Structure 1
Amino acid sequence: MNPQKRREIFKRLKKENPHPTTELNYRSPFELLVAVILSAQATDKGVNKATRELFKVARSPKKILALGESGLKEYIKTIGLFNSKAKNIIKTCQILVEQHGGKVPEDREALEALPGVGRKTANVILNTAFGHPTIAVDTHIFRVSNRTGLAPGKTVVEVEKKLLKVVPGEYKKDAHHWLILLGRYTCVARKPRCGACVIEDLCEYKDKTSD
């Protein structure tokens, strides 16, 4: 795919949605961190339902530690893998209190050292909470990047590196959100809704549908 086509893709995505953001509800970097840890193999809607009640009583690492693991589980038990997620969140809160003054670090290495936080989650926090031009590649972005020809790659890291290289600078900060929304609602896994897609004529997917 040539640079002009890539630029036009992001120009259109920006026109359609000038200020994209995550669909997870949060009011601080810490709330976002908890929500993203909970969102692994879960829907944003399900996470928002659980955190709506959790964040009413515990909006800081100290307050979640005060709940304890069993107390935390009561709030997140509707979410898949809640047992291991509760363990990770409690351990993460301990590290934040002991090593970072209760704040979420604005540093990739420090973020990836937190239990339950991998490269993707670190990228989400750096991008969404702190405004860094990182791109967190999830299943939606991986699919869209390969299917459209925007940034093909065999692995998540390969696609991430390619996107960081080919996405025009002015679109880099919001690219993550545009691509995830495109993959979630239009360029869906089983049968993409090509007829409803704003970049259909720019996309290099060979088996386009009329939907």
Structure 2
Amino acid sequence: MSIDASRWDVLDWRRRVQDLYDAVRAEVVPARAHAVWVAGRDGLLGTHPASPVPAAERPSFAGAPVAPYDPAYRFVVPVDLDVEPARRDVATGTDGVVPMERVGRVDLPALGSLDVWWVAVYGGGLFVPLRDATSARTTYGGGRYLLDSVKGADLGGGLDGLVLDLNFAYQPSCAYDDAWACPLPGPGNTLAAPVPVGERHAADAHGGVGLADGVARG
């Protein structure tokens, strides 16, 4: 009996995502950083063995549709800690029940506010998902992710100025394959306004979205 080698693929995927976001943070011109991110993410999605794009579809994967960079959607905002404690226990397909604790809130001028979550697992990390008026129209119905530092998606900054560049909003794995179950935005991470930047629908995005428990299933 041999050990499943796929975990080593996941390890390599996470290292590559971390390297990609290191390169993004190192680029001082946001539009150039965005171009680095788009190219790097497309390369990973289309070729990496741990990609959420099904293996049979990777050879024809032409890249995730991404809106042109718009600097109006880049924010560096302080994190408001004066919020009521809250906790979500989110069941996922691969990681069991993932506890999340609200650790702050950020205000995005002209758009609204978003809760900032701490993924309370070994190591921990920040998680900021987003749902907006484009969801289920031009973007994935279950929402998108802005930050998921456990997985390496981290644009930088801290309490005094967290970088939230909505041009880097990306689709969760369940947008590509209904085998995945993804934690998704709750009411505190839903904007009434449209966010027309970032990744759009995958060319072959899968259908129905189950949101009752904060998890999408393809």
TM range (shorter): under 0.3
Q: Greater helix percent: which structure?
A: 1
TM-score, with structure 2 as normaliser: 0.23
Larger Rg: 1
Q: Greater strand percent: which structure?
A: 2
